[in-house]
Amino acid sequence: MARLPRLTLPGHLHHVIQRGNNRQPIFVDREDFEAMLALLADNAQRHAVAVHAYVLMDNHFHLMATPSTADGLPQMMQAVGRRYVQYFNRRHGRTGTLWEGRYRSTVLQPERYLLPCMVYLDLNPVRSGAVVQAVDYPWSSHAHWLGLRVDRLLTPHALYWALGNTPFAREAAYAAAVQAGISSREQAALTTSALSGWALGDPEFVAELQKQTPRRVVRGKAGRPALLPVSE
């Protein structure tokens, strides 16, 4: 059966996951993390992709982003992936592939999933045991949204601005959201949707999304034609 193309739609919020091949490390030290962030910042600007959040883990990374064009996100990820492999192989004296196939991604309904997905990314290092608190991890967007540093890679989503009328109010509201965390159901839905490529949102969002692409946006029911079933 032919593999479905990625669900990539301009103007919509996307959750992206890129893994290392066989879960091998893709970042060895600070220089590697900084090289990836520089590549992401340069190529996000070049391909008109607004990156709202990220986390770089030892063997994978996540992005939340809104592309302005249909080709912007794939072009950005292709450029970043190719250049980073060249850099990594040259620096660490290795050859061959670094990535576990193509990156995974899907479209999220921002009203329901922007903040939960940002929190999901911020808490990834805590869940892995890398740090005790999200603020202790240097390779995520968490510190930027708390006002602790300025990150040129990041562009605020309109729903982040809606958290408060002042920077302090927004930062406090976001800190509270991270402190509250997300449910195991939300965590599973965010992971599964990105890895499977099926959109995540309520039935109305999914129905509107389907009008914008001939590619199915949610899995059809077994044995029946796809009728836009309710997503997670």
Domains of the chain: 13-210 (3.30.70.1290)
Percent of the chain with pLDDT over 70: 94
pLDDT digits (tens, 9 = 90+) for 189-220: 999 999 999 999 999 999 999 999 999 999 87
In this prediction, residues 34-58 reach a mean pLDDT of: 98
Question: Token pair 């195991």 is at which residue?
Answer: 184
Q: What is the reported pLDDT for 2?
A: 55
- pLDDT of 17 reads 98
Percent of the chain with pLDDT over 90: 91
For 48-65, the pLDDT digits (tens) are 999 999 999 999 999 999
Strand order across the beta sheet in which 104-108 lies: 49-56, 60-67, 13-19, 104-108
Mean pLDDT of 94-115: 95
Report how far apart, in Å, the C-alpha atoms of 173 and of each of 7, 86, 132, 149 are.
31, 40, 21, 17
Query: Residue 5: which pLDDT band, with cuts at 50, 70 and 90?
Result: confident
Residue 221: what pLDDT? 61
Q: In angstroms, rounded to a whole number, what is the distance separating the alpha carbons of residues 155 and 77?
A: 17
pLDDT of residue 24: 94
